[in-house]
Amino acid sequence: MHNYKGDFPIFKKTSHGKPLVYLDSSNTTQKPQCVIDTVSQFYREENANIHRGIYELSERATISFETVRQKTQALLNAKYPHEIIFTSGTTAAINLVAQSYGELLSAGDEIIISTMEHHSNIVPWQLLRDQKGIQLRIIPISDNGEMDLIEYEKCFSPRTKLVSIAHASNVLGTINPIREMISIAHANKALVLIDGAQACSHLSVNVQALDCDFYVFSAHKAYGPTGVGILYGKTEWLEKMPPYQGGGAMIEQVTFDKTTYAPLPAKFEAGTSNIANVVGFGAALDYLQTIGMETIHQHETVLLHDATKQLLTIPGLKIIGTASSKIGVISFVIEGIHPHDAGTILDRQGIAVRVGHHCAMPLMQRFNVPATMRVSFGIYNTMSDIDSLITGIHATLNFMCQ
């Protein structure tokens, strides 16, 4: 197994005087040196606003920015570059669709989401429900954390307009059968939004092959900077949807009587974008391409299987989410120990794990747990990280049982 840690300067640091073992990549990934250097270089050498200046610096910044749109198009295999909209994150992208596509809906129309969704794919639809009087239908999941496709098909009615589901669960690690789910939705004349926040740094994604109508994810979960999100949308729907925000850059002509809007993608990119971090995300995309998504998936699958095997040897430990197809995410509870206590003790050993409800309270309620511990892998994790985790959990158990 190749060791990629050397690409990430943060691992030269220690945590509480111990080597950092970072197992929270589902929360945010660490950044390779090439991304850090690219953001710094932009501010040193290219800093200017985009799409506004006729001078060289602005033109260079615009080219750098738009090149990342093309790289993102290639990552997702979108048909056109204008189908890639830059936002501030997955949350912003979902809210954009909820508020903009939501303007095309009427009271009584229905949207389907699932029990395993992140709050970012629940609350925007609840806001739309309260604004427009739409109805939400919830897909149940099985005890092992898999989508129930029989129940999913039962959720549809003639009023169903949209399905909004995760490609992969941030808590369970479950990789959902989204190709089949999209096909079922389209057969019922409903559109589909895929929350790919937990998928794009782990799996190859081809939006044309999937035939989804919208796909969203965040740069910071794919080795890029924070504050950058991607909304892919099919041209036909992006053209029908009204602008989500008004301001500079998204207009064609403004008078006090009327405003006409710029064509895609500018229509949905009001104001000054997070230019430097978008450019930095381009370096992250290059980094992912250099390694290869298949290599990344294989690397993390080996870690997932080894960690699962070792965790199951620990007395009183129960894994929440045992789907047959998973990304490198494991959530678990240990009998008699609150996750927050365990997470705090592990931190003192230099081991960073996530504890809590993971912005998925309905899912916690489904499994009747207040919180879980979660480990999630990135390309920089190694077998020795898993060994440190297992040793750390045993040390935690010994400390808690004193």
Q: Could you tell me the CA-to-CA distances from 146 to 52, 54, 377 in Å, in that order? A: 48, 53, 20
Average pLDDT value for residue range 161-185: 98
Q: In sequence order, what DSSP letters do the residues of 214-241 get, joined into one string?
A: EEEEEGGGTTS-SS-EEEEE-HHHHHHS
Average pLDDT value for residue range 196-217: 97
Chain centroid to Cα 81, Å, comes to: 20
Peptide bond into 315 cis (omega under 30): no
User: What distance in Å separates the CA atoms of residue 99 and residue 105, rounded to the nearest whole number?
Assistant: 10
For residue 400, the model assigns a pLDDT of 77
For residue 165, the model assigns a pLDDT of 98
Cβ burial of 189 (10 Å; 0-12, 13-18, 19+) is exposed
Q: What percent of the chain has pLDDT over 90?
A: 95
Span 35-289: which CATH code? 3.40.640.10
pLDDT surpassing 80 at residue 13: yes
The token duo for 241 is 């949807």
For residue 49, the model assigns a pLDDT of 95
Among residues 327, 370, 366, which one has the least CA distance to residue 122? 366
**Active-site residue identified among 34, 200, 359, 401:** 359
pLDDT surpassing 90 at residue 398: no
In eight-state DSSP terms, residue 318 is E
Residues whose CB falls within 8 Å of the CB of residue 22, separated by 6 or more in sequence, listed in order: 10, 11, 30, 352, 378, 380, 381, 385
Asked whether the beta carbons of 10 and 4 are under 8 A apart, the reply is no
Average pLDDT value for residue range 173-197: 98
Is 359 among the residues known to form the active site? yes
Asked whether the beta carbons of 3 and 299 are under 8 A apart, the reply is no
Q: Which amino acid is at 297?
A: H
Please list the residues that pair with 20 across neighbouring strands.
Answer: none
pLDDT digits (tens, 9 = 90+) for 214-229: 999 999 999 999 999 9
Per CATH, the homologous superfamily of domain 5-29+293-400 is: Aspartate Aminotransferase, domain 1 (3.90.1150.10)
Average pLDDT value for residue range 240-257: 92
Residues whose CB falls within 8 Å of the CB of residue 125, separated by 6 or more in sequence, listed in order: 98, 111, 113, 134, 136, 164
For residue 402, the model assigns a pLDDT of 62
For residue 53, the model assigns a pLDDT of 87
Domain segments of the chain: what residues?
Answer: 5-29+293-400, 35-289
User: What distance in Å separates the CA atoms of residue 82 and residue 1, rounded to the nearest whole number?
Assistant: 38
Residue 253, H or E segment: strand 251-254
Q: In sequence order, what DSSP letters do the residues of 254-304 get, joined into one string?
A: E-SS-EEEPPTTGGG--S---HHHHHHHHHHHHHHHHH-HHHHHHHHHHHH
Average pLDDT value for residue range 384-398: 94
Please list the residues that pair with 233 across neighbouring strands.
Answer: 214
Average pLDDT value for residue range 252-275: 94
User: What distance in Å separates the CA atoms of residue 386 and residue 388, rounded to the nearest whole number?
Assistant: 5
pLDDT digits (tens, 9 = 90+) for 46-73: 999 999 889 999 999 999 999 999 999 9
Q: What is the mean pLDDT of the chain?
A: 96
Kindly tell me the sign of the dihedral angle through the C-alpha atoms of 120, 122, 125, 130: negative
Q: pTM to 2 decimals?
A: 0.97
